[in-house]
Structure formats: C-alpha cells, structure tokens
Amino acid sequence: MSMMLNKLFGMNDDVEGRLRARGIRYTDDLLTACRNAKSLAELAEAVQVDKAYLTRMVQRADLERIRGIGDAYIALLEEAGVRSAADLAAAAPDELRGRLTQVNSEKRLVGRIPAPAMVNGWVKRAQYLTRN
C-alpha cells in the first residue's frame, strides 16, 4: 500500500519537498526511484541528502508495504534489528516475536506486542515481496 512521503516515519519535511520536486510523492515512487544501490546513490546526490538517511527511508517505505506495520511497529522492528523487508523475510517468526517482546519490555515502544499470527503474517508477506 503506497502512502504519501510526508506520512513516512522519520521523513524530514525538507527532504520530502526535494523529492516531491523530482516527482516522488508516494512511497511506491520512492521504491521505484531507488530500485538498486546505484539509483539510490544517484537520487541521494541529486536531492543533496545523506545516502544513509535515504536508505533508511527506502527501507521504511518497504516495510510499510506490509499490512499491519506502521510507525510504532517500524520503530520496534528496527530496535530488534529488522531494518528492511529482506531482513523480515529472513526472520524466524517465533524468534522475532521473542526479540520484539524483549526490546519492548526494555524500551516501551508499543502498547501491545504483535500476536504470533501477525508476526508470522508479516514474515510471509515479506518473503512474498522480496521474491517478486
């Protein structure tokens, strides 16, 4: 599901404006524009933004495509070491839920840990997205 860039967790207004000026308004536009490392580096240079920051925004846009993952769960996943859909696709659901529980008990990022079925669904969807 594509969303406007200004709704993407952590998106800086200034960077969003520079991307918008290049016709990139939605997360799907960003994912298309940054389809590989070369195109991401070129866009980062063109809009004069740190490549690491743009990489993080692309990874978050990728995670946002998975139903049920919003800002709070992105923060939790990142703290648990999951930065992209590829990371999520490679995770073992039970082990990941354990890490999410541990991180949340320490940092209190979300009010409720996702249910095992939800984490399993996230992993399956990430596996599908990274294959296609």
Each residue's pLDDT, cut to its tens digit, for the chain (132 residues) gives 689 999 999 999 999 999 999 999 999 999 999 999 999 999 999 999 999 999 999 999 999 999 999 999 999 999 999 999 999 999 999 999 999 999 999 999 999 999 999 999 999 999 999 997
Assess whether 40 and 92 both reside in one domain. Answer: no
Using DSSP's 3-state secondary structure scheme, residue 83 falls into: coil
- Report helix, strand or coil for 101: helix
Q: Looking at the 3D structure of the chain, how many domains does it have?
A: 2
C-alpha span between 116 and 122 (Å, rounded): 10
Please tell me whether residues 75 and 127 are part of one structural domain.
yes
24 lies in which domain range? Answer: 5-64
Which pTM does this prediction carry? Answer: 0.92
